[in-house]
Chains A and B, each alone.
Chain A
Amino acid sequence: EVQLVESGGGLVQPGRSLRLSCAASGFTFDDYAMHWVRQAPGKGLEWVSGISWNSGSIGYADSVKGRFTISRDNAKNSLYLQMNSLRAEDTALYYCAKDWALGDAFDIWGQGTMVTVSS
């Protein structure tokens, strides 16, 4: 079964850091680009960051550029998001999503990990 499982979320104070992980299974992880997408409580989806299969291409939303770093470890079938200088507006459910093989889209999503930034 193709599966993505996020972890690492929690309550963190403004200005602090947190590292999210996404464990992939059921597909050849290093064949696909991967992404992080977030959703603030009661709000819409926001693309956060993406990384190519070999980490050669990386992109960030303007809202997180310079504060967040995406990375992957193909040997461990894992995707990561290092989040520094966290702000209240980063409070959201963070989803890991897999690139669709047949076109430009996200076909497999995890269930998300909740990040709450509050003092």
Chain B
Amino acid sequence: QSALTQPRSVSGSPGQSVTISCTGTSSDVGGYNYVSWYQQHPGKAPKLMIYDVSKRPSGVPDRFSGSKSGNTASLTISGLQAEDEADYYCCSYAGSYTFRYVFGTGTKVTVL
């Protein structure tokens, strides 16, 4: 049950787009359309940003979008804003008929 692989950090200027990758295996990311993404500001609890690969909960700006190809999922933030600076984690169901999830290693997004 190894953690999903994310880049340690990505950065961009305000208004630019950044993409965070999340690489797993056919037993997790590649096997199910159950990838979610979480934003975490320092000292705060994580916040759900994307679920089921590409769906956005109400209240999450449409600047945030998700996708998946094979064993790799991606989160794209378009029109980067200062408040987007945070840590981002992907998560995938890895269950096989039971509860089993795996998080990514986390990516620090820096707004330059």
Interface residues, chain A, CB within 8 Å of chain B?
33, 35, 37, 44-47, 49-52, 57-59, 61-63, 95, 100, 102-107, 109-112
Contact = CB atoms under 8 A, between A and B. Distances in A.
B102 A112 contact: no
Interface stretch (B13-21, B73-81, B103-111): B103-111
B95 A59 contact: yes
Given A59-B99, A62-B1, A105 B45 contact: no
A102 B51 contact: yes
A104 B51 contact: yes
A103 B52 contact: yes
B80 to A, nearest CB: 22
Interface of B: 1, 3, 32, 34, 36, 38, 40, 45-48, 51-52, 55, 57, 89, 91, 93, 95, 98-106
B52 A105 contact: yes
| Top 8 A-B pairs, shortest CB-CB distance | A59-B99, A50-B99, A105-B51, A105-B36, A104-B34, A109-B45, A47-B101, A103-B51
Given A104-B36, A105-B34, 17 more contacts: A37-B46, A45-B89, A45-B91, A45-B106, A47-B100, A58-B98, A59-B95, A62-B1, A100-B51, A103-B55, A105-B36, A106-B36, A106-B38, A106-B91, A107-B48, A107-B51, A107-B57
Given A59-B95, A103-B55, A109 B46 contact: yes
B99 A33 contact: yes
B99 A45 contact: no
A58 B98 CA distance: 7
A93 to B, nearest CB: 9
Contacts of A47: 91, 100-103
A101 B75 CA distance: 22
A109 B55 CA distance: 19
Given A45-B103, A104-B93, A59 B48 contact: no
B98 A59 contact: yes
A33 B93 CA distance: 14
Nearest to B87: A44
Given A100-B48, A105-B91, A109-B46, A57 B34 contact: no
